[in-house]
Structure 1
């Protein structure tokens, strides 16, 4: 089902170049589960997919340049225009999530570190041009 009974109030909708490969990457890197996938008429590109990850849902589709340049992936432009931030419960979760994503092929943009706003934080780039951030409250002392 493309639209469940309790959709989250805010939902990311990613445009990628290589939708099938992106689904596989997000499954490996983030433990995503694809709950819905519809292919385009060309049977090559993903028209729409829903991925459940980190207790929420992300939508995904391949780029469709024939519909205009607003339906293009970040790596077909020059860069991502935003980052998707994942709030995790513990600082160690940031380190583990970053290592898992790196093992799946993500580029680490900022290694897990304790930052000035009082959190454990890391940033990574996925192979499809999107930027992800992991954030957790600091360890209790």
Structure 2
């Protein structure tokens, strides 16, 4: 954790809205499933119940998330059609860890024609994650 110091963000950073006041649960899931590390303690809303902003690092990249805030026109119902991709060193290990943490297999992990071992899972909050790594040569 970075004790509240902001780190610069490069490229595109996904920012997820988590419904039903489950952002804390999502943070815990992403730690267990994908080895996420908190960059800082989450910023709480004035109601003391909802997370307004959380910043995580997963596999060298940033992920931001928050609870939904319908009063600001931000609702979380069904997530938008997006897939978050993780390019990792060992797809089998990452895929297995995600399933053990509570993800649901959406596309079985398999060797693909483009040279990656690739599969997809859906997290308990409705977001789809793809996991891929170069096929290991024996």
Question: How does the TM-score come out when normalised to structure 1?
Answer: 0.86
Deviations 1:88-128 (A, max 9, x none): 13xxx111111111111000111210112221001000011
Deviations 1:62-102 (A, max 9, x none): 1111111xx233xx12x54110011113xxx1111111111
Unaligned runs of 5+ in 1: none
Unaligned runs of 5+ in 2: none
Instruction: Find out whether 1:15 has 2:17 as its counterpart.
Output: yes
Instruction: Find out whether 1:52 has 2:49 as its counterpart.
Output: no
Q: Map 1:18-37 to 2 at 5 A.
A: 18-36=22-40, 37=42
Instruction: Find out whether 1:130 has 2:132 as its counterpart.
Output: no
> 1: CA distance between counterparts of 2:18 and 2:27?
10
> What is residue 70 of structure 2 aligned with on the other side?
65
> What is residue 81 of structure 1 aligned with on the other side?
81
Instruction: Find out whether 1:101 has 2:77 as its counterpart.
Output: no
Q: CA RMSD in A?
A: 1.5
- Give the secondary-structure state (helix, strand or coil) at the position aligned to 2:39: strand
Task: Give the alignment partner of residue 40 of structure 1, picking from 42, 45, 53.
Answer: 45
Question: How does the TM-score come out when normalised to structure 2?
Answer: 0.88
Structure 1 stretches of 4+ with a deviation exceeding 6 A read none
